[in-house]
Structure 1
Amino acid sequence: MTGAPNPNPRTDAETNAADVRFAAGGLLWRDADGGRRLAVVHRPRYDDWTLPKGKPEADEPLDETALREVREETGCAVERGRFAGTVTYETDAGPKVVLFWRMTLVEEGTRETDGEVDEVAWLTPEEARTRLSYPAERAILDHRPVTEVLAPATEDVEPDADAEPTDRSR
């Protein structure tokens, strides 16, 4: 996977359509005592917590990519539900668009150790909001437009929900 967001995004004039990379993933839910839990994965390479996702294989439709990546990163058999939204951010390789689908657990399994993901945590929605490393992924979880969470902010100023996003990190 292309990694952490690039702190120096390109301008629109520097980006061609061919530069845009795509990935897909899922919000994988399971029912548990005390309510629903969301799968969140830890990537040791970036030391971050994200929703399970990844790049498509050659000619693979993105909805199938989402299923495969969630299975690979969580070890679970899953069923894809409705489309949940997109996250867009800059990487060193160029802009990336990640499409997410809602998913439900069919059967828990064991994950193959591959070094890409070293931990899967099943969290309440509130725990996931705290643990997820990227505001845009929290926005998908909260069903909010990404522009609400990507507006620049300082400690003294609340983000302006109507502002154009300038921080395109995840």
Structure 2
Amino acid sequence: MTDGDPVLAAGCVLWRRSPSGQGIELALVHRPKWTDWSHPKGKLKRGEDARQAAVREVLEETGMACNLGSELPTTRYTVEGNLKEVRYWAAEATAGEFLPNKEVDRLLWLPPAAARIRLTRDRDKELVTALLDALHLPRNAP
């Protein structure tokens, strides 16, 4: 761990109703810098609160506008020797279109079970369960 204040960040477990009408799908982003699959998130900008940052990061990384729902568990971990604290919200995608960019080169919409498998880090997998609980859906949702 490091001394000093943590790097503050915010993000969302972004979801939509499945086009098939059966359940929901989650948006996962692939970040080439880290070669990982994760939920959209990023650092707070000066003067920005965590809710604003979460919505901004979703838009920047996925191209999607969203409505924030319940706050989900905050994650804490170290990156390059610095403590990072990320606040998350459940967020329903309302509109938009993904365009690859410098930070995110791919976006996948997956059912919760498949999202858990694809996510790189366990802390992100745990957020899938937290989202399902927040939406009052079964934890074993396909």
Q: Structures share a fold, TM > 0.5?
A: yes
Q: State the Cα deviation string for residues 42-83 of structure 1 (Å, max 9, x = none).
A: 001111000000011111001100000011111011111110
Unaligned runs of 5+ in 2: 132-142
User: What CA RMSD, in Å, does the superposition of the two structures yield over aligned residues?
Assistant: 1.5
Establish whether residue 21 from structure 1 lines up as the match of residue 15 from structure 2.
no
Q: CA deviation at 1:40?
A: 0.4
Q: Distance in 1 between the 2:71 and 2:123 partners? A: 16
Count of residues in Structure 1 that have an aligned counterpart in Structure 2? 129
The residue number in structure 1 matching 2:107 is: 120
The residue number in structure 1 matching 2:135 is: none
Matches within 5 A, 1:59-70: 59-70=47-58
Q: CA deviation at 1:93?
A: 4.4
Q: Distance in 1 between the 2:127 and 2:98 partners? A: 26
Higher relative contact order (CA 8 A, sep 6+): 2
Q: State the Cα deviation string for residues 10-63 of structure 1 (Å, max 9, x = none).
A: 2xxx522x3x11110001111111320000000011110000000111110011
Q: Distance in 2 between the 1:41 and 1:129 partners? A: 13
The residue number in structure 1 matching 2:138 is: none
Q: State the Cα deviation string for residues 104-123 of structure 1 (Å, max 9, x = none).
A: 01113233x43110001001
SS of equivalent to 1:46: coil
SS of equivalent to 1:143: helix
The alignment-based identity, stated in percent, is 35
The residue number in structure 2 matching 1:99 is: 87
Identify if the C-alpha distance between structure 1 residues 125 and 64 changes in structure 2 by more than 3 Å, giving closer, same or farther: same
